[in-house]
Chain A
Amino acid sequence: MTGRALLTCFGYVALLALLAVGADRLIASRVFQSPGELVPAYRAFQEPSVSVKLHDLEQASGTFDTLVLGNSRTLFGVRPDIVDRVLADRGIAQRSFNLAMPTVDVRFWPRFMRDYYDRPAPKRLLLGVIPRDLDARNVQAVTQMNAFFASSGFDNRDRSAAWRGAEEWRSRIFTMHGRFNEVRRAGIGGLLRGDGLAPPQIRVSERGWGQFAPGVAPSKRELAEQARRLAVRSGSLRLAVGDEQIGALRQLDRWIRARGGCLTLFTVPVLYDREPWGTVEVRRAFERTMRAFVRANPRVGYLDLGPRTEDEYGLADFGDGDHLDPSGAGRLSRQLADALAEDPRC
Chain B
Amino acid sequence: MLFPAAVFLLIFLPATIAVYWTVPARMRIAVLLVASYAFYLSWNPVYGLLLAFSTVANYAIVRAIPDSPQPKRLLALGIVVNLGVLAFFKYAGFLSGAGADLLGWLGADTSGFDGLDILLPLAISFFTFEMISVLVDTYRRDVRVGGFLVFATYKAYFPKLVSGPITRYRELAPQLLRPAPLTFERFQSGLALFTLGLATKVALADNLAVPADRAFADPSAVSAHVMAVGLGAFGLQILFDFAAYTTMARGASRMLGLELPLNFRYPYGSASPSEFWRRWHITLSRWLRDYLYIPLGGNRKGRLLTYRNLIITMVLGGLWHGAGWQFAAWGALHGMFLALSHALRGRFADPSPVLRFCGALITLSAVYFAWIFFRADSIGAALDAIGTLAALPSESPRTLLLAPLAASALILASWAMPWLAARARELAARDIRLRPVAVGGITLACWLVAISLSRSSLAPFVYFEF
Binding site for B on A (CB under 8 A): 1-3, 5-6, 8-10, 12-13, 16, 19-20, 23-24, 27, 41-42, 44, 151-152, 155-156, 160, 162-163, 165-167, 169-170, 174, 176-181, 183
Contacts and interface: CB of A to CB of B under 8 A. Distances in A.
A5 B6 contact: no
A27 B182 CA distance: 35
B299 to A, nearest CB: 47
B181 A24 contact: no
Given A12-B440, A16-B444, 11 more contacts: A20-B448, A20-B451, A24-B448, A27-B452, A42-B456, A163-B5, A166-B11, A170-B10, A178-B456, A180-B455, A181-B456
B184 interface: yes
Is chain A's interface secondary structure helix, strand, loop, or mixed overall?
A: helix
Contacts of A3: 22
Contacts of A8: 184
Contacts of A151: 456-457
Given A20-B447, A27-B452, A180-B207, A12 B188 contact: yes
B1 to A, nearest CB: 8
A41 B456 contact: yes
Contact of B10 (A5, A23, A166, A180): A166
Interface of B: 1, 5-7, 9-11, 14, 18, 21-22, 42, 181-184, 187-188, 191, 207, 255, 440, 443-444, 447-448, 451-458
B440 A16 contact: yes
B7 A166 contact: yes
A163 B188 CA distance: 27
Contacts of B187: 5, 9, 12
Given A6-B18, A9-B187, A20-B444, A167 B455 contact: no
Contacts of B5: 163, 166-167
Contacts of B448: 20, 23-24, 27
A180 B453 contact: yes
A181 B7 contact: no
B228 to A, nearest CB: 23
Contacts of A155: 457-458
A19 B444 contact: yes
Contacts of B18: 6, 10
A95 to B, nearest CB: 30
Nearest to A20: B447
A252 to B, nearest CB: 28
Given A2-B21, A12-B188, A12-B440, A167 B7 contact: yes
A20 to B, nearest CB: 5
B182 A2 contact: yes
Contacts of A42: 456-458
Contacts of B181: 1-2, 5
B182 A9 contact: yes
B42 to A, nearest CB: 8
A177 B6 CA distance: 11
A8 B187 CA distance: 10
Contacts of B456: 41-42, 44, 151-152, 178-181
Contacts of A167: 5-7
A12 B444 contact: no
Contacts of A44: 456-457
B6 A180 contact: no
A239 B40 CA distance: 54
A167 B457 CA distance: 11
A181 B455 contact: yes
Contacts of A163: 1, 5-7
B191 A13 contact: yes
B452 A180 contact: yes
27 contacts: A2-B181, A5-B181, A5-B187, A9-B187, A12-B188, A12-B191, A13-B14, A16-B447, A20-B451, A23-B444, A24-B451, A27-B448, A27-B452, A42-B456, A152-B457, A155-B457, A165-B7, A166-B5, A166-B11, A167-B5, A167-B6, A170-B6, A176-B451, A176-B452, A177-B451, A178-B456, A180-B207
A59 to B, nearest CB: 18
A166 B15 CA distance: 13
B184 A9 contact: yes
Nearest to B203: A180
Contacts of B457: 42, 44, 151-152, 155-156
A320 to B, nearest CB: 29
A178 B451 CA distance: 7
Nearest to B447: A20
B452 A152 contact: no
B74 to A, nearest CB: 41
Contacts of B10: 166, 169-170
Nearest to B9: A170
B440 A178 contact: no
A142 B454 CA distance: 27
B454 A41 contact: yes
Contacts of A2: 21, 181-182
Contacts of B14: 13
Contacts of B183: 5
Contacts of A169: 6, 10
Nearest to B207: A180
A89 to B, nearest CB: 42
Contacts of A181: 455-456
Contacts of A165: 7
A160 B1 CA distance: 10
Contact of A174 (B21, B22, B451): B451
A152 B451 contact: no
Contacts of A27: 448, 452
A10 B10 CA distance: 13
A142 B186 CA distance: 53
A234 B241 CA distance: 56
Contact of A6 (B21, B191, B444): B21
B184 A12 contact: yes
Closest 6 CB pairs of A and B: A152-B457, A44-B456, A166-B6, A170-B6, A166-B7, A9-B187
Nearest to A21: B451
A297 to B, nearest CB: 33
Contacts of A1: 181
Contacts of A180: 207, 452-456
A103 B452 CA distance: 30
Nearest to A150: B457
A16 B184 CA distance: 14
